[in-house]
Structure 1
Amino acid sequence: MKLKFNCIMLAAALGISVNVFAINKPKHHRPKHKIAAAPKKFIDPANMNLAIKPGDDFFEYANGGWLKQNPIPAQANRWGSFTMVQQGNTDKLLGLLNEVSQTSASQPKGSLKQRVGDLYASGMDSLTIEKRGYEPAKPDLQRIDRIKNFNDFINEMIYERVNGIGSPIFRFGVEPDGKNVNQYVITLAQGGINLPDRDYYLKNDTRAKKAQDALKNYAAALFTLTGSNAGEAAKKAAIVYNIEYSCAKAQLSRVAMRNPHVTYNKFLVADFEKQTPHLKWTQILPALHAGGQDSILVNQPSFFKTADSLLAATPVANLKVYLQWNILRGAAGAGALSADFANAGFSFTSTLTGQKVQLPRAERMSNMVDGNLGELLGQLFVEKYFSPAAKQYMLNLINNLKAVLGDRITRLDWMSSATKQQALKKLSTLAVKIGYPDKWEKYNVVAIKRNDYFGNLRTLSKWRYTINIARLGKPVDKTAWGITPSTIKAYYNSANNEIVFPAGIMQFPFFDFNADDAVNYGAIAAIIGHEMIHGFDDQGRLFDADGTLRDWWTNNDADNFKMRTNQLVNQYNAFTVVDSLHVNGRLTLGENIADLGGLTIAYEAFRKTMQGQSDNKIDGFTPDQRFFLSWAQIWRSSQTPESAAQRILTDPHSPEQFRTNGPVGNIDAWYKAFDVQPGDKMYKKPEERIRVW
């Protein structure tokens, strides 16, 4: 099954220890004859808009000053707490990469530092990349040009996948079987489009048409750069768009795909081939090095029926154009061709996101190395920036929150004891990964050349394919990580029933060791709680303690859950983001459940600390006020209208304003902390406040 990633950014970089519910702080000895620095304001009124009533717009009240003082940089399409921490992470990676790339030539061939340093150096060798133009892609274009019939087209698609060149029309891979989680299974999924979502093709409003034109212009630009005249390039772009439009029409919506029962469709290979007579899987799978399998998992069978008919009905000449477009788009997007190709790609991106200036090449190449050799680069990162003691801190805090969640489950008045027992079993078996893998990926046989960026990308892509296919017939590796150690995210993986917190950077506003408990519980503890709750959201609840897709709920309990979560859907559907665009409460339901549940259990855990049981103010704010203000400030962010519109279609997370306001409006303690009264815009009657976990 697919990993479930959540846009939660956190990590641990300091050596710290923790007591039950209260964070212990070491004694600090002030040096003699030095003036002590002014204490840090973890909740700073300068970042707030005190002219706004907290009960009218808590997000603006908590963050309005910061938003006014921090416009979106030209090289970004959104800016806030997460992106600022990410920028700090990138700066650290760049320091490591610059250091190793200067010495990698003298390192033993195949060593960690040689490969990391030379990969970065090859990507930064813009003079060589510029000189080569699109020469590296010519062999692919020429090979595609020699296609004469449909069988040649199928063989080319196979060749591209096996050699790490591309994955046109559909996605193919090997993943754990959702109903037999200790075995891997071949998985097919819909694809074929290059706009962010199928709705960009299917809608006719101004925003959608602008995106459609941008895609056509991008395709035409790439064909022009490779020798087509303007008329030919426009015709080829139209061919590309029409094929992608047909694929988009056949795709399931993101909301439909949230239901794992909808996307779990297992077939005998021979039976599925009957539904796609032109895609002969009994021949294709062995050619993809995935032979010998009697069954296959198809996420969207209807898509493949349509794709089969589409490919058979499309002239071979048009299929060749589509393949060439994907070759050029992939290479241009990776920065592997000359600047005119990269600029065409950024023009396309800018139209979709509103980003005004492209990221510096060094930052793009830092992201590239992290994405391709992440567990080699991650070892350097962890060695310098992560303390083993931080793991213990996170484990203790996680255990605290598990205890609170377990207690809350036992107290639920809408769930039967039978389902509670299963929920508690799932919670007790929840696995935790913190910091970095226990077993590092070694990237065996991956050879990196300092002067061949294009070739390096192909080598790495082919290696990833080979490693993925090699899983067939082996037990599922539950030690594997879905993201790299330096990534600033956290996620819940339903197949393993696990929560994962990479090293990243544990820093303010997510965590600060010198902060009071209210600040840390309102941020890092709520983030941990968020990931725990994903095991019990509308998707996670469908998997049992072993990660198997299995119904362990009584019908009445499932109905009660759906009744409560449907209230959340309606609440978030009412939030307006841009123009007439509203939050999609169904698409964002899982994250909204996790936000509400995570904040709720973090608050209950906070109330068990000494500060949580006191009324002592700090900087004019009570403990409870500081807790909720800390929650609000981790979501402080602004974004371009284009980015906001795109995220409405593609992002399962609600916009940050509503990640702040949505949960607190359902928590009684927030009303008391800020004296929110009837007549305030966010006020909800006690009986209308939504409670799930």
Structure 2
Amino acid sequence: MKKAVLAILLSTAALIAGPVACSKGDETDKAETGYTVGTELGISKAAMDTSVKPGDDFYAYANGNWQRTTEIPTDRSSTGAFYTAFLETEKRVRELVGAIVQKGGEPNADAGRIAAFYKAYMDRPAIDAAGMKPVEADLARFAAIANKATLSKVLGEQTRADVDPLNATDFGTENLFGIFVTQGLATPGEVIPYMLQGGLGLPEREYYLSADPKMAAIRTDYQAYIEKLLTAAGQSDAAAKAKRIYDLELKIARAHATREQSEDFTQSADVWAKADFAKKAPGIDWDAYFAAAKLDKAGKFGAYHANAITNLSALVASEPLDAWKDWLTFHQINSHSDVLPSAIDSAHFAFYGTTLAGTPQQRSRDKRALDALNTDLGDAVGRVYAEKYFPASAKAEVGDMVKGIKAAFASRVNGIDWMAPETKKEAIKKVETIVVGVGYPESWRDYGSYSVSADNAYANEVAAQTTEYAHQLAKIGKPMDKSEWWMTPQTVNAVNLPVQNALNFPAAILQPPFFNAKADPAYNYGAIGAVIGHEISHSFDNNGAAFDSTGALRNWWTAADLKKFGEAGSALAAQYDSYKPFPDLAVNGKLTLGENIADVAGLQAAYDAYRASLNGKEAPVIDGFTGDQRFFIAYAQTWATKMRDEALRARVATDGHAPGNYRALTVRNLDAWYKAFDVKEGDKLYLAPDKRVRVWG
């Protein structure tokens, strides 16, 4: 959801989770999620705890029984609505892939690629029998590094297009730098490669630098894990190498920008010519690096983490070659552990799955194979998925909702009394020109250059990454494609693309519990409508508002308007700072501000569109709930969230999304919620009218 991605890494932890809903009679989903939903009402009465006063704890009112009775599956770190939709999608994909594997296909056709990829990934005996042989050539490249020029070349060879600061706010790469390709923040109309900081094995710098005792314990466990992985991989002197690797990563972490700095697009718009790197970031042999990274023909770069690029290059010069060689070896093994011997795969899960996220059990190999397919052949699988599971009627209905919510947002902008006419004009132009993709892209990815082996899963994974890298680099210097999709149809998520001024709503999120064709408009506007409103509103959050209608990063605000907007953001940040999931850890209102602005503005726009859809009439009372009550309950139930403590702590400490139970409390800022549930002064969630944050209207 951030700029936006609604959920992150469902296979590890559904960071944005909600109540689970399924069709009647689906006992598989009910067993895994503990929740069923009626088709007429939409919302789940069984999930609610109506003994709780809505004005005291609206989350518990909407989800209390679900929260008490639901158990997190042993192979997950969380559960909720995204997981429910994911389960149904996974079942569908499994059936589709199973049929393709059984039938087979030509090696140079997508069906043949899918079948070969799946067979190789599933052949655990063959992977174990191969041992470290598949990775030997890569480790030999590292061992042969003799000087800083060769090191620079190898660092270039390792570079991948594996980060996305704008759409997914994904800043993590185990390589020293990551590349992202789209229109430059400061180069309107010009597609360039962005360069981002990388090189860490822990999620981000705070894990290395925080004084929190729990973070310190994770650091100890991580050092032990490095040694264990190297030992399992047959590396000699593993303990000494593990220490060198960790010590180097600690220096890398100190060289990094903070997460808050990374989230601020306006501070990340530096443009460097290729010649600037040698002057501004001495230490790396940049000619060798760019040639090996196939970036030698790029004339401009977005230096997204400019200071970190300088600092990391200095470390290349100052740190011993042996430390870098050990570091390269560890990260090559660590980042491909799933296609290496079982001892390596199991050690990787024990640390990343259990220690970091609290998940006790590894997912089954067949489920992980589907995840890998969705990553490496995502469009090939997605094309088959969309053809079978996304009817034209659903595309049309959701498209109509998008139009209504866009109109509601524009109407709210028009009604803002403090905003200058010139600011309003650009804001309305921006919302009117948003390019909205529903279900699936208009054109599909060509995998013709991706050769897939039926018996070498490691080679397939590496080749997929290099193929994706070449695909991204091919966009440099060409006109930006505003219709480009950044998600596959089978992704349970949605995204706002700021430089494209575009939105993607994949087919997989357009199903229960987010969209239910049998439910009434109150439910659908409160569920998928709020998602749509959220993504539209990301174009106007604290970062999105810095982009104009063309996707250019420029200030189109008057000084007075920007000040007023900033004040509203500060008030919302303070509201979230007060939420504490643990006695020693509060939500970071500044870090989560973009998501929270999008929640407030998006929910309000969805509500306005819902009311407009009634054409002046009142919705019927269904099962004792008014239309407005169903709207807000549906919203809160899409944020029902149950997470293991380890995963929740990691989320609060480092992620731009607040936990779901606090996002459900967005309702506190909407006047209509107070009226719907008769919330009054003295109720615990009550905010005086002048304290309700209104951001956009």
- Please say if 1:285 is aligned against 2:284: no
- Residues 1:536 and 2:543 aligned together: no
What are the within-5 Å matches in structure 2 for residues 472-491 of structure 1?
472-491=476-495
Deviates more, 1:434-443 or 1:476-485: 476-485
1:157 and 1:167 in contact (8 A); partners too: no
Could you tell me which residue of structure 2 aligns to residue 221 of structure 1?
228
Residue of structure 2 in register with 1:348 after alignment: 351
The residue number in structure 1 matching 2:156 is: 158
Q: Does 1:149 align with 2:153?
A: no
Report the counterpart of residue 24 of structure 2 in structure 1. Answer: none
For each residue in 1:256-301, what CA deviation from the matched residue of structure 2 results, as whole angstroms up to 9, or x when unmatched? 1222121111122223311222223244323322223333221122
Distance 1:533 1:317 in 2: 49
1:686 equivalent to 2:689? Answer yes
Tell me if the contact between 1:612 and 1:623 (Cα under 8 Å) persists in the aligned partners.
no
Deviation at 1:529, TM superposition (A): 0.8
Number of residues of Structure 1 aligned to a counterpart in Structure 2: 657
Name the SS of the counterpart of 1:6 in structure 2.
Answer: coil
Separation in 2, partners of 1:162, 1:632: 39
Cα offset for 1:479? 2.9
Q: CA deviation at 1:612?
A: 7.5
- Cα distance in 2, alignment partners of residues 174 and 685 from structure 1: 45
The 1-side partners of 2:257 and 2:684 are apart by 37
The code of the aligned residue for 2:585 comes to: L
1:538-577 equivalent positions in 2, closer than 5 A: 538-577=542-581
- Mapped partners of 1:357, 1:242: distance in 2: 30
Match of 2:376 in 1: 372
Q: Determine whether 1:639 maps to 2:643.
A: yes
CA distance in 2, matches of 1:119, 1:289: 26
SS of residue in 1 equivalent to 2:275? helix
CA contact (8 A) 2:669 2:687 kept: yes
Ranked by relative contact order (alpha carbons within 8 Å, sequence separation 6 or more), the top structure is 1
Which residue matches 2:58? 58
1:129 deviation in Å?
0.8
Could you tell me how far apart the structure 1 residues matched to 2:542 and 2:500 are?
17
Distance 1:376 1:468 in 2: 17
C-alpha deviation, 1:247, in angstroms:
1.1
Partner of 2:309 in structure 1? 304
The answer for the alignment partner of 2:114 in structure 1 is: 116
Amino acid at match of 2:376: N
| Secondary structure of 2:465 counterpart | helix
User: Does the 8 A contact of 1:8 with 1:491 survive in 2?
Assistant: no
Residues 262-273 of structure 1: pairs in structure 2 closer than 5 A: 262-273=267-278
* Alpha-carbon contact 1:270-1:282 (below 8 Å) kept: no
1:593 aligns with 2:597: yes
Aligned equivalents of 1:247 and 1:587: distance in 2? 22
Residue 239 of structure 1: aligned partner: 244
TM-score using structure 2 length: 0.91
Contact persistence 1:181–1:548 (CA under 8 A) = yes
Following TM superposition, by how much is the alpha carbon of 1:304 offset from its aligned partner in structure 2, in angstroms?
1.9
User: What letter is aligned with 2:677?
Assistant: F
How many Å apart are 1:109 and its aligned residue? 2.5
The aligned runs of 1:40-439 (5 Å cut-off) are 40-104=40-104, 107-161=105-159, 168-228=175-235, 232-332=237-337, 335-349=338-352, 350-439=354-443
Note the C-alpha offset of 1:562: 0.3
Work out whether residues 572 and 584 of structure 1, in 8 Å CA contact, stay in contact via their aligned partners in 2.
Answer: yes
SS in 1 for 2:46: helix
| Corresponding letter in the other structure for 1:330 | S
Comparing 292-301 with 540-549, greater Cα deviation is found at 292-301
Residue 320 and residue 38 in structure 1: after superposition, are their counterparts in 2 closer, same or farther (change >3 A)?
Answer: closer
Bigger drift between 167-176 and 196-205 goes to 167-176
The answer to whether residue 669 in structure 2 is matched with residue 669 in structure 1 is no
Once the two structures are TM-superposed, the CA of residue 162 in structure 1 deviates from its matched residue by 7.8
Q: How much does 1:133 deviate?
A: 1.9
Query: Are the aligned partners of 1:257 and 1:263 in contact in 2 as well (CA < 8 Å)?
Result: yes
Counterpart secondary structure, 1:607: helix
Asked if the contact 1:195–1:211 (Cα under 8 Å) also holds between the matched residues in 2, the reply is no
Q: Quick one: which amino acid aligns to residue 260 of structure 1?
A: F
User: Whole-Å Cα distance in 1 between the matches of residues 332 and 82 of structure 2?
Assistant: 33
Q: CA deviation at 1:509?
A: 2.1
- Show CA shifts across 1:325-351 (max 9, x none): 11110121xx11111101000011110
Deviations 1:383-403 (A, max 9, x none): 111112222112211111111
For the 8 Å contact 1:265–1:301, the answer to whether it is kept is yes
Q: Residue 611 of structure 1: CA displacement?
A: 8.8
User: 2:2, 2:595 within 8 Å by CA — same for their partners in 1?
Assistant: no
Alignment partner of 2:475 out of 462, 471, 474: 471
Give secondary structure in 1 for the equivalent of 2:633: helix
**Secondary structure of the equivalent of 1:638?**
strand
Distance 1:227 1:414, change over 3 A: same
What letter corresponds to residue 227 of structure 1 in structure 2? G
* 8 A contact 2:482–2:502 mirrored in 1: no
Deviations 1:359-400 (A, max 9, x none): 111111101001111110011111111112222112211111
Q: Equivalent residue for 1:513?
A: 517
Gaps of 5+ in 1: 10-36
How high is the TM-score relative to the length of structure 1?
A: 0.91
Amino acid at match of 1:617: V
2:4, 2:538 within 8 Å by CA — same for their partners in 1? no
The offset of 1:168, in angstroms, is: 2.4
CA distance in 1, matches of 2:318, 2:241: 17
Q: CA deviation at 1:470?
A: 2.0
Q: Distance in 1 between matches of 2:82 and 2:662?
A: 16
Q: Does 1:492 align with 2:503?
A: no
Which residue does 2:505 correspond to in 1?
A: 501
